[in-house]
Amino acid sequence: MTDARPMPSRQWRASLRTLSQLRWRDRWLLAQALVLIPCLGLLLKAVTFQRLARVLGALSSARVDRSVSAAPEARTVADVVGMASRHTLIANTCLHRSLALWWLLRRRGFDCQLRFGARKSGGRFEAHAWVEHEGTAIGVDRSTSDDFAPIAWFPARTSI
């Protein structure tokens, strides 16, 4: 989880340099993600995941193009969402980040799934959420998502 701490000036300069290197459309994407991630976190406290996911799916499903296959562009979106998640003022989780990434990708026509996994580590139950596009986890280290046994998909898979 990310804390809202003031960044030292050196980190601010590095962040501004990175921002200046982004294309304009990626800056717009960053602005969207900076608003979307905390809003999703707050909405998940007010409504169920199922209801929120249904609404987000309805707002994006008409645009999904099953033929869109541009993995490098999907990774760029994931990188920008990751950047935004490190700079939100409200702490966020893998669910908030993954839900934001899933929705932003679907709005761009990508056919992707929100995946949920679980594992037992050191006697503790742990859960994780990530996004897959073309069967590959994006926005997370593949080894991280491989450590979790898949337990659910969104949208639901018709066959396993």
List pLDDT tens digits, range 98-132: 999 999 998 888 888 899 999 988 889 999 999 98
Instruction: Delimit the domains of the chain by residue range.
Output: 9-154
CA distance 40 to 68: 26
Which one has a higher pLDDT value, 160 or 99?
A: 99
**pLDDT 10s digits, 148-158:** 888 888 876 54
Instruction: Check whether 18 has a pLDDT greater than 70.
Output: no
Reply yes or no on whether the pLDDT at 76 is more than 70. yes
pTM: 0.79
**Residue 90 gets which letter from DSSP?**
S
The one-letter code for the residue type at 91 is: A
pLDDT band (50, 70, 90) for residue 44: very high
Find the mean pLDDT for residues 20-44: 87
Strand order in the sheet with 112-121: 136-138, 124-133, 112-121, 149-154
- Average pLDDT of the chain is 81
pLDDT, greater one: 41 or 12? 41
